[in-house]
Amino acid sequence: MAETILVLNAGSSSIKFELFEVGAEDRLDSRFAGQIEGIGVKPRLAVKTASGRVLVDRPVPLDDAADVERALAVVEAWLEAELEGPLTAVGHRVVHGGPRFAAPVRVDETVLATLETFVPLAPLHQPNNLAPIRELLRRRPELPQIACFDTAFHRGHGELADRFAIPERLWEEGVRRYGFHGLSYEWVAGRLAELDPETARGKVIVAHLGSGCSMCALAGGRSVESTMGFTALDGLPMGTRPGQLDAGVVLHLLTAKGMDAAALERFLYHDCGLKGLSGISNDVRVLLASSDRRAKRALDFFTYKIAQMTGWLAAALEGLDGFVFTAGIGENAPTIREAVAHRLAWLGMRLDPHANGAGGPLISAAESRIRVWVIPTDEERVIARHTLAFLRGRRPGEGA
């Protein structure tokens, strides 16, 4: 009977999952992927095979998926009916590893308690990432659960990149720049090395553009700088998060506007970004389709900031050889890619219109000084690889 690894990525209103079978020479084959979305509102379970065949697509009674824990039970019940044997292990995406965790770790009660202390650093993500881990620990303590961290890929930064200009005691307490979307950047760095080894060995910027957005500077495939910092609020404007923001604005909201910490947290995580700037939507597809001038302004601001951050990251790299678009917007919005390239023409970036419209993977024109790629991300496969490596006793980065 083949070993199987389940990958879970739990959010506030959905649980994404993918099942991998371990084949010969530890090859990982995806059997199916799916999600239960609309948790607590209008739950629905949908699963497809790797070839795209629909296995299930049905509504779930609200009482059965009123929260993440109960939704997990729905997923488990479906898996038990589908699988011929028990799971070998479960790999989880956990956004924040704090100063403690720089590599995947098997979660027990002690590790879970430590991860819970990082909730204030990622209040939008961490509680939901940990909810299924806690539930599985309670009901199936014998099942290996491996936490894989979005912050881990950035832990090799130089000290100057990770510091704030604040007293040393706060650095020692863990107040520093961490960077996020590391599982995505790890995948993209590996794929770029396969597609374009020469560029991958050089200086590359990756733009992870989705509901959450960040950019990462890679030197020889390793992260040296990222636009996100202490939390996932920093850097680029996002769907509902503001990105780079003068700390004085926060003080103003606390004092002049009378916001308390809870109201401020909700405002910064849910009411800003493209949603706040446009007053229309946090969805780039909606904004692109709108004729409202506010939608155009929001998208212009978005691409302006991407270009601005490119200059900052290029300075950290002391040059630029390649640029990669990834994640939902980066992979599927040629208009956004075109606008970014137009703003970066001063760097010698030129796109091939036909290749860009087709989604690449190589979208730069022949005369472009910078090689530009579109590389779909695959965080779930990275998590599965780390989980299998942990089970085999290999260190991160070691092959089979």
Burial of 349 (0-12, 13-18, 19+ CB in 10 A): buried
Active site residue 150: yes
Tokens matching residue 276: 């706040």
Which residue among 150, 196, 321, 378 is the active-site one? 150
The number of residues in the chain equals 400
Q: How far apart are CA 169 and CA 172, in angstroms?
A: 5
Question: Which residue do the tokens 């579109």 mark?
Answer: 374
- Closest alpha carbon to 351 in 343, 296, 301: 343
Tokens matching residue 240: 């509902």
Q: How far apart are CA 334 and CA 359, in angstroms?
A: 7
Contacts 24+ apart (CB under 8 A), 154-162: 154/178, 154/179, 154/180, 154/182, 154/216, 154/223, 154/226, 155/102, 156/222, 156/223, 157/223, 157/224, 157/225, 157/226, 158/224, 161/224, 161/225, 161/316
Q: How far apart are the first and last CA of the chain?
A: 20
Q: At what angle do helices 126-139 and 109-116 cross, to 10 degrees?
A: 160
**Cβ proximity of 339 and 305 under 8 Å:** no
The alpha carbon of 297 is separated from its chain's Cα centroid by a whole number of angstroms, namely 25
- Closest alpha carbon to 180 in 219, 127, 220, 233: 233
Q: Which residues of 40-73 are buried (b: 16+ CB within 10 A; e: fewer)?
A: eeebbbebeeeeeeeeeeeebeeeebeebbbbbe
Q: Centre a 10 Å sphere on the Cβ of residue 313 and count the other Cβ atoms it contains.
A: 24
Residues tagged active-site: 150
